Amino acid sequence: MTSTNIDLALVQSFVDKHRTANRPIVLVTSGGTTVPLEKNTVRFIDNFSTGQRGAASVEYFLERNYIVLFFHRLSSTLPYQRHLKSIFDESQSNQSYHLDQYHKFKTSLLLIPFQTVTDYLTGLEQLCSLLKSFKRSALIYACAAVSDYYIPNDELTEHKIPSGQNELIIRLKPVPKLLGSIKGEYAPEAFVVSFKLETDEKILEEKCLQSADKYNQDVIIGNMLKTRTNQVRIYERFDKLWTTINRMPEKEIEYQIIELLSEKHRIYQMNMN
Amino acid sequence: MTSTNIDLALVQSFVDKHRTANRPIVLVTSGGTTVPLEKNTVRFIDNFSTGQRGAASVEYFLERNYIVLFFHRLSSTLPYQRHLKSIFDESQSNQSYHLDQYHKFKTSLLLIPFQTVTDYLTGLEQLCSLLKSFKRSALIYACAAVSDYYIPNDELTEHKIPSGQNELIIRLKPVPKLLGSIKGEYAPEAFVVSFKLETDEKILEEKCLQSADKYNQDVIIGNMLKTRTNQVRIYERFDKLWTTINRMPEKEIEYQIIELLSEKHRIYQMNMN
């Protein structure tokens, strides 16, 4: 596993090309970040995330006229690609529809991969800073599953941890929390949306409110590991408003999430742009 | 992330269907195993492995008339599928050749997925035991990257590890080593091949010899993380013989590995069947 660096010149030229079109722009972060346990990385800690939510959301943002930067875990789910069958899957499906959609929207979409949590944090700052000049037209939609703990680079061992010991103890430090820096520094006028994933229903609301207090996102979306494709709880910080979305039949829940968010973002842009 | 259980009845019927054909059969294990850090798993330790080697090897085993059980990490690289382009890749490639190859060989190939190291170990025993009756016609080709340390199920916490602590300490126990049980118990007459991946060249040979002493594989293949697609060192335990394979131009190195192994396996079958 190797580090990824963002080709900032490429991102800048993509962004500049679309700047005059007066369209909203979204940064979607997606997939889990890795925490290497060795410098020559064989072992790493990962966060469970298929990247399905991010990939689906990208498609719905594109349908709502957004320019999309898709900052995703390498090899996680990709928009459009996710609908194409494996050769081992012999079911029937309408692949040509999704291929057509891809070709319709591809010039508005830029794929930017990451792997480690360090690469993610560096990239998040760079990409948000690049969107700063879009002011209220920028939306940051952070659904990547970011590691909470990591081993700082100067504490990493060079080679593969030896096997054959009676116990292996791994000491991890908290990952610096940069979510608050988005509104605080990187892109203060952007509309910022982040996710909270929990496994214990009792603490979900409380965790969302704590997050809002700490990081000043405009919207926090709470979801439970087991029901995340069927229900989300959306909290708007400014209005102190909770909305529950239950999935409609024959639609992915991301369709409704993006429908709601793009409307909130539209109003946000009108307020002071 | 959920546990996987093998559909043993399905595997048994696949194996029985091919039994009369008098063909050799190979179990290929592939990809990294995961180590959950919580029962409701959000975080897990993973071993770096794309599953590329296992998937490529499957294709070359099929070309040499093997029946193949592909016991692979869910979502890791799949044979044939790996040659198909993503819709984001606009290069030209001859996909129809690989589709044709897939259709030619698909009835000889069974895909069996795993995720956690516990599922892997349970499945390895079940699948090897099922191959026992094939005696010397069975080859076990273990190239999965198996975790060395894990948290036993009764020491796992129920819910997601909380964030916000100053340090997180993870205590891991050694994973039971079942590799030796293949020759010792599960399928004593099978031809057993395993891999050793290291990042420190100086200890590679020594690690291979130690492994051979401990687990009685017939062949150990040593490879370095950085050069693994270009060079492997093959050790035959019975003859105490080292062979180095360097990749030929325009071939994957797995082509040469399987060419050599299938020849060794042919001789092994003739010796006492």
Which tokens is B149 given?
């340390």
Q: Is B180 left (phi over 0), alpha (psi -120 to 50) or beta?
A: alpha
Contacts of B112 in chain A (CB under 8 A): none
Of A161-165, A217-221, B41-45, where does mean pLDDT reach its minimum?
A161-165
Cα nearest neighbour of A107 on chain B: B88
pLDDT of residue A65: 97
pLDDT of residue A2: 63
pLDDT of residue A193: 98
pLDDT greater than 60 at residue A273: no
Spatial contact of B215 and B177, defined as CB atoms under 8 Å apart: yes
Cα nearest neighbour of A161 on chain B: B148
Contact B40 A81 (CB under 8 A): no
Nearest to A169 among B46, B87, B169 (CB): B169
The confidence band for B160, taking pLDDT boundaries of 50, 70 and 90, is low
Comparing CA positions, the residue from B225, B221, B51, B143 lying closest to residue A159 is B225
Q: What is the mean pLDDT of residues B107-116?
A: 96
Spatial contact of A178 and A117, defined as CB atoms under 8 Å apart: no
Spatial contact of B160 and A149, defined as CB atoms under 8 Å apart: no
pLDDT greater than 70 at residue A160: no
For B163-196, the pLDDT digits (tens) are 778 899 999 999 998 999 999 999 999 999 999 9
Contact B160 A200 (CB under 8 A): yes
Contact B225 A42 (CB under 8 A): yes
Q: What is the mean pLDDT of residues A238-245?
A: 95
Spatial contact of B73 and B46, defined as CB atoms under 8 Å apart: no
pLDDT of residue B2: 64
To the nearest whole Å, the CA of A35 is away from the closest chain B CA by: 9
To the nearest whole Å, the CA of B63 is away from the closest chain A CA by: 18
Task: Please name the amino acid found at residue A172.
Answer: L
Instruction: Name the burial class of residue B180, with classes exposed (0-12), middle (13-18) and buried (19+) by CB atoms within 10 angstroms of its CB.
Output: middle
For A37-50, the pLDDT digits (tens) are 988 777 899 988 89
For A62-72, the pLDDT digits (tens) are 999 999 999 99
Contacts of B38 in chain A (CB under 8 A): 199
CATH (residue range A8-199):
3.40.50.10300
pLDDT of residue B156: 85
To the nearest whole Å, the CA of A121 is away from the closest chain B CA by: 17
Contacts of B115 in chain A (CB under 8 A): none
Which single residue is written with the structure tokens 């020491």? Answer: B155
Q: What is the mean pLDDT of residues A138-165?
A: 87
Task: Please name the amino acid found at residue A180.
Answer: G
Spatial contact of A43 and B45, defined as CB atoms under 8 Å apart: yes
Spatial contact of B214 and B180, defined as CB atoms under 8 Å apart: yes
pLDDT greater than 60 at residue B273: no
For B85-110, the pLDDT digits (tens) are 888 887 777 788 999 999 999 999 99
Q: What is the mean pLDDT of residues A145-172?
A: 85
pLDDT greater than 60 at residue B161: yes
Of A15-24, A62-71, A97-106, B132-141, where does mean pLDDT reach its minimum?
A15-24
What CA–CA distance (Å, rounded) separates A122 from A124?
Answer: 6
Q: What is the mean pLDDT of residues A212-224?
A: 95
Q: Which of B45, B52, B151 to mutate to test the interface with A (most CBs of A within 10 A)?
A: B45
Contacts of B168 in chain A (CB under 8 A): 148-149, 171-174
DSSP state of A32: B
Which single residue is written with the structure tokens 């895909």? Answer: B111
DSSP state of B158: S
Instruction: Name the burial class of residue B35, with classes exposed (0-12), middle (13-18) and buried (19+) by CB atoms within 10 angstroms of its CB.
Output: buried
For A181-202, the pLDDT digits (tens) are 999 999 999 999 999 988 888 9
What CA–CA distance (Å, rounded) separates A230 from A234?
Answer: 13
For B216-262, the pLDDT digits (tens) are 999 999 999 889 999 999 999 999 999 999 999 999 999 999 999 99
Q: What is the mean pLDDT of residues A1-30?
A: 90
Spatial contact of A123 and A112, defined as CB atoms under 8 Å apart: yes
Contact B199 A148 (CB under 8 A): no
Cα nearest neighbour of A39 on chain B: B199
Spatial contact of B77 and A234, defined as CB atoms under 8 Å apart: no
To the nearest whole Å, the CA of A249 is away from the closest chain B CA by: 25
What CA–CA distance (Å, rounded) separates B33 from B1?
Answer: 12
Comparing CA positions, the residue from B128, B123, B244 lying closest to residue B180 is B128
ipTM for this model: 0.85
Q: Which of B87, B97, B223, B229 to mutate to test the interface with A (most CBs of A within 10 A)?
A: B87
Size of interface A-B (CB pairs under 8 A): 131
pLDDT of residue A243: 96
Q: Mean pLDDT across chain B, nearest whole number?
A: 92
* Three-state DSSP state, A19: helix
Contacts of B226 in chain A (CB under 8 A): 40
Residue A250 backbone dihedrals phi, psi, to 5 degrees: 65, 10
Contacts of B166 in chain A (CB under 8 A): 173-174
Query: CA A263 → CA A140, A195, A266, B8, B62, distances in Å?
Result: 15, 18, 5, 51, 54
pLDDT of residue A154: 87
Nearest to A168 among B86, B149, B166 (CB): B149
Contact A172 B174 (CB under 8 A): no
Contact B48 A47 (CB under 8 A): no
What CA–CA distance (Å, rounded) separates A171 from B115?
Answer: 25
pLDDT of residue B101: 95
Task: Please name the amino acid found at residue A249.
Answer: P
Contacts of B163 in chain A (CB under 8 A): 148-149, 174
To the nearest whole Å, the CA of A106 is away from the closest chain B CA by: 9
Which letter, b or e, does each residue of B106-141 get, where b requires 16 or more Cβ atoms within 10 Å of its Cβ?
eebbbebbbbbbbbbbbbbbbbbebbeebebbbbbb
Contacts of A172 in chain B (CB under 8 A): 167-170
pLDDT of residue A42: 78
For A247-265, the pLDDT digits (tens) are 999 999 999 999 999 999 9
Contacts of B204 in chain A (CB under 8 A): none
pLDDT greater than 80 at residue A89: yes
What CA–CA distance (Å, rounded) separates A249 from A164?
Answer: 52
What CA–CA distance (Å, rounded) separates B143 from B221?
Answer: 9
pLDDT greater than 60 at residue B205: yes
pLDDT greater than 90 at residue A230: yes
What CA–CA distance (Å, rounded) separates B253 from B88?
Answer: 27
CA B254 to chain centre: 13
What CA–CA distance (Å, rounded) separates B197 from B204?
Answer: 8
